[in-house]
Amino acid sequence: MLKKLSYFNIALAIAYLVLYLLNSTSFAMIGVFVVIVFNAIVLKHLEKDQPFKSVHFVIGATNIFFAGFMTLWVSHIVISSINYHYFGNSWLYILLTSIFILSILSHYILMLRDARRVNQ
């Protein structure tokens, strides 16, 4: 499950980058890059069947931090869409970002569960 979710996160990160972040700030680009790198590292360790180390949890925490900022960005989009009574083109952004946020959170939780299972 963790392996499939890693591939899914990489695909969502690339889609998010291509669809919404081409003309964006460097922080958002760095966040997407960290998500891609983290998932690639997790895939590498899963293929080699190595246990997760503290560096994985630190990089994973930066993913959680980025997911928090994406939650803030989505809430601003929803608030301004409500204020201006216009949801025309924002539904796809809200849906894609919400799935991306849930995927990042699920991935980190599954990694923690897998690390706990290995350490017991």
- The pLDDT, as a whole number, for residue 115 is 76
pLDDT in tens, 67-79: 999 999 899 888 8
Cα–Cα distance for residue pair 110/116, rounded to 1 Å: 10
| Stated pTM of the model | 0.85
d(CA 2, CA 106): 9
The candidate with the shortest Cα–Cα distance to 114, out of 55, 38, 50, 36, is 50
pLDDT tens, residue by residue, 26-83: 778 888 899 999 999 999 988 888 888 888 888 889 999 999 999 998 998 888 888 8
pLDDT at 103 over 90: yes
Q: How many domains does the chain have?
A: 1
Owning domain of residue 53: 2-119
Q: How far is CA 116 from CA 7, 13, 119, in A?
A: 22, 27, 5
How far is 88 from 33, CA to CA, in rounded Å? 29
Rounded to the nearest integer, the mean pLDDT of the chain is 86
